[in-house]
Chain A
């Protein structure tokens, strides 16, 4: 289980508990966090679930596979901290993670 906070561009914070084994995207969708869509249902095909991960957390996440890298390149407002939240499964190690939701996703 991990407590994860999503900061949206309107300045709001949404802190939720996500069970281990769910992806961050699934946790966000179940908990109605705005701006995290899942058009392809989490199969790394649509890039509507992008988040920005603070650099100090990057090493605690599984590395990006090349598909995810490719999809991110097509997201508006992507940068080197971008990850697709459907590709990150939650573990206890992510407890306290703070993520930002891009302004292109509302």
Chain B
């Protein structure tokens, strides 16, 4: 394995895990990482939670301290962008004109905040929330009484709303779809979150599409059909786009992400891709998809490390997600977008603790658990086992979830 030069384009969560796994497996080749942010690999989840609230120092975001990369001889080229891949020469060209030769290349380019190119979108005071720099700009505008309008009622927007309202801002969430977090959770859970945010003082509008932003010198209003919302600050969280341009320009196949096989290889055997930027067949879900999640970044980082080191693939895991809003921890196991039954355990209309189990042909495919760690953890086991489950028992709080298999 010596004499190999591994180049990683992207220095995000997937890259961080890849490097940690390579170090653990004692990969003997050289590793060079190119990242366009001035930071070593860091975790993004706290950006819309503790870091935004000012409760976490910057270096606590880093996945590993800078000393880790020095110790393992990983070269970090930060604040640099890859501009092109010459596959025949096995070379990556950077924005400063320099180039890096590789024996293997890993694309870990992640995703970027989806833009909302409406009239007035360029006004100062309108931001997205993806990076440390974004949060620092947003936080600088935070003070009690500031009117914050959050465009997008997904995980990021709602986490941001939760932090902001606790800091005394006047918060309005505008969601275009009929319900909150529609891509991620089932309808009963959406309704719960609407109640939760309203109880905490956030104004929530669903089924409302923004048409433009207005203001003189900076944003002052968000304009929707039939609704005008005053704003001192706007944060747009309407999804993410995979950064596939480098791969596409190099002629690699992409279908809503860079297409990779079970070992995270692209159609070029010398090039891998991992994390938010990829599209992969998931054996448990039995379909190809792009999974935007920390767990996917970690899992693919480990998969690619195993493949690069010539080791067996790690076992497949059940996808899982989490979101922290106020005193509610949402943990989701599996994907609930294809289900024919939803079974509720607990009371979604009062209190803040319940779970929803999603079944397809009597098989448990997913669970949304709010302050129900046991239901979440057991669901991961059952979903992974493609377990057939008893719906009456699932709904019955007296029966432990582990006893609900048919």
Which residues in A have some Cβ–Cβ distance to B below 8 Å?
22, 26, 29-30, 32, 34, 39-41, 43-45, 47, 66-67, 70-71, 73-74, 106
- Are A30 and B24 also in contact (CB < 8 A) when A39-B295, A70-B373, A71-B373 are? no
Q: Is the CB of A71 within 8 A of B377?
A: yes
> Bound state CA distance, A34 and B378, in angstroms?
27
Residue pairs across A and B with Cβ atoms less than 8 A apart, 18 shown, are A22-B60, A26-B60, A32-B64, A32-B71, A41-B294, A43-B329, A45-B322, A45-B329, A45-B331, A47-B377, A66-B373, A67-B373, A70-B373, A70-B374, A70-B377, A71-B377, A74-B381, A106-B24
Chain B 70-84 interface residues, beta-carbon cutoff 8 Å to A: 71
> Bound state CA distance, A66 and B374, in angstroms?
10
**B65 lies within 8 A of chain A by Cβ:** yes
Minimum Cβ distance to chain A for residue B388 (Å):
21
Q: Is the CB of B68 within 8 A of A32?
A: yes
Q: Is the CB of A30 within 8 A of B373?
A: no
Which residues in B have some Cβ–Cβ distance to A below 8 Å?
24, 43, 45-46, 60, 63-65, 68, 71, 294-295, 298, 322, 324, 329, 331, 373-374, 377-378, 380-381
Minimum Cβ distance to chain B for residue A81 (Å):
20
B377's closest neighbor in chain A, by CB?
A74
> Bound state CA distance, A7 and B166, in angstroms?
42
Minimum Cβ distance to chain A for residue B301 (Å):
11
- Are A39 and B298 also in contact (CB < 8 A) when A70-B377, A71-B377 are? yes
Beyond contacts A40-B322, A41-B43, A66-B373: 15 other A-B pairs, Cβ-Cβ < 8 A, are A39-B298, A41-B45, A43-B322, A43-B329, A45-B329, A45-B331, A47-B377, A67-B373, A70-B373, A70-B374, A70-B377, A71-B373, A73-B377, A74-B378, A74-B380
The DSSP consensus for interface residues of chain A is loop
Q: From the candidates A30, A41, A43, A73, name the one contacting B64 in the complex (CB within 8 A).
A: A30
> Bound state CA distance, A45 and B374, in angstroms?
11
A residues near B68, Cβ cutoff 8 Å: 32
Q: Is the CB of A41 within 8 A of B46?
A: yes
Minimum Cβ distance to chain A for residue B317 (Å):
10
A residues near B71, Cβ cutoff 8 Å: 32
Most B Cβ at <10 Å: residue of A45, A47, A73, A74: A45
B residues near A30, Cβ cutoff 8 Å: 64-65
User: Top 4 A-B pairs ranked by shortest CB distance?
Assistant: A70-B373, A74-B377, A70-B374, A45-B322
Minimum Cβ distance to chain B for residue A68 (Å):
9
Q: Is the CB of A39 within 8 A of B294?
A: yes
